[in-house]
Amino acid sequence: MKWSRNASRIKITLEDVCRRRGIENYYDRFSFSRIPVNGQEIHLSILDTPNPKGLILFSPGTNAYALLYGEYLLALANLGYKVIGYDPRCHGQSTGANGAYAIPELVDDLYALVHFFHQREALPLFLSGSSQGGIVSFYCAAKEEKLAREANRSPVIKGLVCHNIADLAADDAVELTRWPKFSKFIKKGVIALAKWLPAFPVSMSLYLNLKIEPVRHIGNAWSIIQDDPLLVDMVRLKTLASLCNTPLDTPVEALQTPLLLIQAEKDTIFKPAYSKRLFDRLTGSKKMAVYPGLPHYMIVDDVHAFIGDVSDWLKNQLS
């Protein structure tokens, strides 16, 4: 398993990624900052926009970091929004041991970021996330709705643009793993073992087959993890346990935060049938868009295919 998270090479790495993908290097378009959140230092990649329409907080996928999604973040900024991508704890240039996080910790951190920026920016605030980041954004909206209701105030999250969502406590969440039937069989064992060995490392290849997920001009998701100095290919038992049974703070059927769900037809991790079942359980304002022929990493490779839908949906929420 790969353990290194070397932030010193990130600029060179992104230069190489952009060269191989045939795009202009976007590293210098961002400004960077770090803020303390729940005992960790969270790294921010920021795109300021003159007279922004709103603020979008972006959450990356498992063991990824915000700058990997630079084309999408730039597209959002070009729509007229201030964009802040953050590296979750134990990811990218934020602090925390490799892979040593649980979903509730990530949700609590994002909730803290939401209120940090809500207090400082007089802008409508949206969340966006990909894969695990989409799940965390979805869960954060549920937490915000619950706590806002208890405090007799309005939720501060204007809407969600999620590339993937999940209800991790539901029985069908095992469909998100590499071997669903096996995962269902060992689920209780993983939860029990994590109480005794929470930091035990587990290769991501044991529950996700990233070698079959293509990434344009680079190969596949697994090859990126092996080559990128800020990516690691492992999580901990406590991470897996939290992916097995973390409930939403507000039931899916009660969630009212407006949602745009973007879905790749050829996604082998978040299959369209799973996403559609979960989407159908939602009763609030919602839209699901499925993009024919695209794989899981459409949010990295095919921004042009969906950014128009994102633009229109955001405009509708603001109006």
Quick one: pLDDT at residue 178? 74
CA 156 to CA 145: how far, in whole Å? Answer: 9
pLDDT of residue 4: 83
C-alpha dihedral (139, 143, 145, 146), degrees to nearest 10: 140
- Whole-model pTM above 0.75? yes
Q: Are 249 and 261 in contact (CB under 8 A)?
A: no
Identify which of 130, 131, 133 has the alpha carbon closest to the alpha carbon of residue 110. Answer: 133
CA dihedral for 42, 45, 50, 55, sign (positive or negative): negative
Nearest to 130 by CA among 14, 301, 5: 301
Q: How many CB atoms lie under 10 A from the CB of residue 140?
A: 27
For position 160, what pLDDT does the model report? 98
Determine the pLDDT at residue 221.
Answer: 86
Chunk the chain into consecutive blocks of 10 residues (it has 319) and report each block's average pLDDT, rounded to whole numbers: 87 90 92 97 97 97 95 98 98 96 98 97 96 98 98 97 97 83 77 94 87 84 88 94 95 97 96 97 98 96 97 96
Which domains can be identified in the chain, with CATH numbers?
7-318 (3.40.50.1820)
- Which pLDDT score, from 0 to 100, does residue 203 have? 92
- State residue 182's pLDDT score: 64
pLDDT tens, position by position, 175-217 = 888 776 767 777 888 899 999 999 999 999 887 888 888 888 7
Contact 233, 130 (CB under 8 A): no
